[in-house]
Structure 1
Amino acid sequence: MRKILLLSEVFPPTHGGSGRWFWEIYSRFPDGSVVCMVGEHPGAQIVDPEFPHTIYRFPLNSREWGLRSYAGFRYYLKVWSRLKKLVKTDDVAQVHCGRILPEGLAAMFLNLTHGVPYTCYVHGEDVEVALTSRELKLLTKLVMRRADRIVANSQNSLRILLDKWQLPEHKVVVMNPGVDVDKFIPAPEHQRFEKWVGKRVILTVGRLQQRKGQDMMIRALPILEPRFPNLHYCIVGGGAEREALIELATDLRVSHMVEFAGEISDTDMVMHYQNCDLFALPNRRIGNDDEGFGMVLLEAQACGRPVLAGNSGGTRETLEHGVSGVLVDCSTPEPIAEALHALLQNPNELLVMGEAGRRRVLQCFSWESLAKDALRLFQID
């Protein structure tokens, strides 16, 4: 059997929704059908044996995604050189690229020299950011033009590709990320989370970056505290905004209400989802940066938790507004506080929303069904 080569810098144990997406989908492909060339990580030797296909680790990170700099040119030359070797040694028939840039550009060079077709995934924010640079915009167009197909992670990403990049609709297919419905489950009845006893907990999981909206959630806390003095906001994840968020909580005198949990294990992650009262991803658009989908919203709903999300980007596709959660304008803290006030004062409604979210995830977003869709798309028996 000739193989698919998955080319992606982001791949477990590196944190990121796209990497988890690739792991879950391609791990369900038939034996001998996939080989992976993915980014390096110090914990790779622990997780790689759990993946059923061959994994090659390679330095796929680069500060330069363009070609005008020596560093960028040298980067693509190294990746292309490695790719052409794998085409021969592993009998590669097609390349699947985690992003348009940089992975897709390297695959385009391979296509030009060896005729190997390639597919590129698009996550929304990646092609939005490319519009801010003349060089990256040109390179992105070239990669898209020669690609066999583009896989968009949401209807929102599809609209970006059609409206802003003028891609023909027949070239793009929408394939949503999903969730492990056997791993992310409602809390067992006997389970207790000691650190949150007596608290009403709002949880956010994700990189600490502006578009995720942790800052707006913190700004909403002073509004909510008089009505909910036991309110507790837990932030899971790391990133560049950590110090700014700590300073913001201090300035607003709500540090006692905010927990920075940092990066945690998958087991602890599930327990955090299971034991919060409500999950919030108060995302908003920052310049050209927007949330492409929001896998964490699916994980929370799979655990039977109601969710709040920003009405920006692709997050609206992860929930049913008014049924499993709410969509809110998260560009300012006041609408967030208003929505949370209405939800938190009605525990029965939160319970019903959580149950509805679990049902919807089981029906639409399980990895098993999504992997079958992917197998049909890529015509693998």
Structure 2
Amino acid sequence: MKKTLLLSEIFPPVKGGSGRWFWEVYTRIATGNVVVAAGQDDKSDEVDSISPLKTYRLPLSSWSWGLKSLTGLKYYFRALRAVLKVVKQNDIEVIHCGRCLPEGFIGFLISKIKGIPYICYVHGEDVETAATSRELSWIVNKALGGATRLIANSQNTADILLNKWHTDPAKTMVFNPGVDASLFIPAPPSQEVRSQLGWESKSVILTVGRLQERKGHDKLIEALPSIIERIPNALYAIIGDGERKSALHALVKDLNLAEHVLFMSELNDEQMIQCYQQCDVFVLPNRTVGSDIEGFGMVLVEAQACERPVIAGDSGGTSETMLLGETGFIVDCTQPQALAEKICDLLENDTLREMMGKAGRNHVQQTLDWPVLSEKIATEFNKL
């Protein structure tokens, strides 16, 4: 493998599916030839001190990634200068860009200045959002067009690249994110753990994800009155934080559902896995909001690894995380009643949940376990 720079603003300790993806893959394939240029965070030292990857923390954050504003121009000048310094210090031969914007455009600029090739990861929502702006579309087109490889996180994302951005099929490929199936493992029901989580003897519906509109927490909350009619002890456990937190709390209050909704945050990794293990069904009620889609849905893979049946919305690449009808279901989550019926059908059928859970675990181990995925992507990198 050539001397490689992974360039990504999102990287642990920053939370995010893409950052976890990069950590899991690059820590496994690193042979002393991978250097990371990541975004800055207050807790970076804790992660970097135990990382096998040499990591530089650079100013990669900005509220403007356009070129028409002074802020955007200053950002690219500052970020480009910092990345070029890392490239020079480490004799970098190829750059792996975590997103097409802004990292992919920085890679494009460096390729023009230094002649260094770059590949670009694409997550779906990034290119869909950029398509709404003529300025950002121009920048993304440059990033996509100059890359030697485009790595889409799902076939749905690849289809967006091929059909909407007209990328070269020969350099557009799909590599799914995955899960560490030796860490995310099933566990028997535990009243002690459930009590510690505040779940007791409830029938628990779990969602893990940032509190943003496309994740659809509001629609599941709206579905709860119908769920409670059939499952009186139903509890909706929500793990995450984000801009929709206040609105979701207000919705719970308006619907008088305080006893049936539990907002959970500040969980450590062990507690998070316990939530997956002890819930009865995992739901990601995502939907498309404007151009904002769910690129893949790693939380669905994590839940299946813990032998939980999953339900997700019909948006983006979520259907690619599961075996439809065997390990999970896709539902129109813009319709609370349809969501309620599918959830109740699962909660009322212990045998079906157990069967789907075991099938989900097997599915993940065979196709979406990090060692399996890392080997595949390392083989592709060695061709570059």
With the shorter chain as reference, the TM-score category is over 0.9
Matched residues in 1 for 2:189 and 2:298: separation? 25
Matched residues in 2 for 1:87 and 1:123: separation? 25
Matched residues in 1 for 2:276 and 2:345: separation? 21
- Judge conservation of contact 2:30–2:53 (CA < 8 Å) in 1: no
Deviation at 1:50, TM superposition (A): 2.4
1:155 matches 2:155:
yes
Which residue does 1:229 correspond to in 2?
232
Which residue does 1:364 correspond to in 2?
367
Which residue does 1:178 correspond to in 2?
178
Matched residues in 2 for 1:155 and 1:226: separation? 38
**Aligned in 2, Cα 1:95/1:129: closer, same or farther, shift over 3 Å?**
same
Which residue does 1:309 correspond to in 2?
312
Which residue does 1:95 correspond to in 2?
95
Which residue does 1:35 correspond to in 2?
35
Deviation at 1:83, TM superposition (A): 1.6
Deviation at 1:42, TM superposition (A): 1.1
- Judge conservation of contact 2:219–2:285 (CA < 8 Å) in 1: yes
Which one of the candidate residues 303, 310, 325 is aligned to 2:328? 325
Deviation at 1:380, TM superposition (A): 7.1
Counterpart secondary structure, 2:10 = coil
Superposition pairs for residues 1-381 of structure 1, below 5 Å? 2-188=2-188, 192-194=193-195, 195-379=198-382
- Judge conservation of contact 2:286–2:333 (CA < 8 Å) in 1: yes
Matched residues in 2 for 1:61 and 1:317: separation? 31
Matched residues in 1 for 2:373 and 2:164: separation? 27
Question: Which stretch shifts more, 48-57 or 228-237?
Answer: 48-57
Where does structure 1 lack aligned partners over 5 or more consecutive residues?
Answer: none
1:228-273 deviations in Å (ceiling 9; x for gaps): 1110000001000000000011111112111110242111110110
- Judge conservation of contact 2:214–2:288 (CA < 8 Å) in 1: yes
Deviation at 1:2, TM superposition (A): 4.5
Q: Which amino acid aligns with 1:143?
A: A
- Judge conservation of contact 1:2–1:91 (CA < 8 Å) in 2: no
Q: Percent identity?
A: 49
1:146-170 deviations in Å (ceiling 9; x for gaps): 1111100000001100111111211
- Judge conservation of contact 1:238–1:263 (CA < 8 Å) in 2: no
- Judge conservation of contact 2:193–2:274 (CA < 8 Å) in 1: no
1:55-109 deviations in Å (ceiling 9; x for gaps): 1111211011111111101111111111211122111011111100011111111
Q: TM-score, normalised by structure 1?
A: 0.98
Matched residues in 2 for 1:221 and 1:313: separation? 25
Counterpart secondary structure, 1:27 = helix
- Judge conservation of contact 2:2–2:382 (CA < 8 Å) in 1: no
Q: Which amino acid aligns with 1:109?
A: L
- Judge conservation of contact 1:31–1:52 (CA < 8 Å) in 2: no
Matched residues in 1 for 2:243 and 2:90: separation? 38
- Judge conservation of contact 1:178–1:370 (CA < 8 Å) in 2: yes
- Judge conservation of contact 1:31–1:53 (CA < 8 Å) in 2: no
Matched residues in 2 for 1:111 and 1:10: separation? 22
- Judge conservation of contact 1:237–1:264 (CA < 8 Å) in 2: no
Deviation at 1:193, TM superposition (A): 2.1
Q: Which amino acid aligns with 1:371?
A: S
Where does structure 2 lack aligned partners over 5 or more consecutive residues?
Answer: none
Matched residues in 1 for 2:231 and 2:188: separation? 26
Matched residues in 2 for 1:352 and 1:218: separation? 27
Matched residues in 2 for 1:82 and 1:2: separation? 21
Matched residues in 2 for 1:168 and 1:2: separation? 23
- Judge conservation of contact 1:179–1:366 (CA < 8 Å) in 2: yes
Matched residues in 2 for 1:50 and 1:234: separation? 32
1:115-164 deviations in Å (ceiling 9; x for gaps): 11111100000000001000000111111111111100000001100111
Counterpart secondary structure, 2:177 = coil
1:328-376 deviations in Å (ceiling 9; x for gaps): 0111211101111211111111111111100000000010011111111
Deviation at 1:39, TM superposition (A): 0.6
Counterpart secondary structure, 1:13 = coil
